[in-house]
Amino acid sequence: MIYKERPQNFNPKFDVVSCFVECDGEILLLHRQDHKPEGNTWGVPAGKVNAGESLLEAVTREVQEETGLILASSQLSYFGKVFVKYPEYDFVYHICHTKLYQKEKVVINHKEHKGFRWISPENALNIPLIQDLDACIKLFYEL
What is the total count of domains within the chain?
1
Residues 2, 92 contacting (CB under 8 angstroms):
no
* pLDDT of 55 over the 90 cut: yes
The answer to whether position 142 is within a domain reads: no
Percent over 70 (pLDDT), the chain: 100
The answer to whether position 89 is within a domain reads: yes
Q: 74: domain range?
A: 2-135
Which CATH number goes with the domain that contains 100?
3.90.79.10
pTM: 0.94
The answer to whether position 10 is within a domain reads: yes
Calpha distance 66→31 (Å, rounded): 11
The answer to whether position 53 is within a domain reads: yes
Name the band, by pLDDT with cuts 50, 70 and 90, for residue 73: confident
Residue 129 has a pLDDT of 98
Name the band, by pLDDT with cuts 50, 70 and 90, for residue 65: very high
* pLDDT of 63 over the 90 cut: yes
Q: How far is CA 6 from the centre of its chain?
A: 20
Calpha distance 41→113 (Å, rounded): 10
Helix residue ranges, H only, the chain: 55-67, 121-124, 133-141
